Amino acid sequence: MLLIRCPWCGLREQAEFSCGGEAHIVRPLKPDELTDEQWADYLFMRDNTKGWQTEQWVHSGGCRRWFNAQRDTVTYKFGISYKHTDPKPEDGD
């Protein structure tokens, strides 16, 4: 079982969490002005990084708060986790 660190509750088992996908996706400022292709790109296209990726997670079996965590997509090792209001760190170590 993987362990994930919730910024509020500490280290917990993976079963208490749900992943919300890639973090730090910026919503378009003027969505009404986007073409269908641009809107589809915003909604569906993600980096699919091999290695460290920053993801959104929710502690659904605990405090129910959202946060960001860095995870290595090759080894599944979790790096740092931080509140979603904090800036994105540079790497996963």
Q: Residue 81 pLDDT more than 80?
A: yes
Distance between alpha carbon 59 and the CA centroid of its chain, in Å? 12
Q: What is the pLDDT of residue 93?
A: 47
Q: Domain residues of the chain, as ranges?
A: 3-83
Q: Which CATH number applies to 3-83? A: 3.30.2270.10
Q: What is the pLDDT of residue 90?
A: 72
Q: Residue 16 pLDDT more than 80?
A: yes
What is the average pLDDT across 70-76? 95
Phi-psi map region of 66: left, alpha, beta (phi>0 left; psi -120 to 50 alpha) = beta
What is the average pLDDT across 23-47? 93
What pTM does this model have?
0.84
Q: Residue 32 pLDDT more than 90?
A: yes
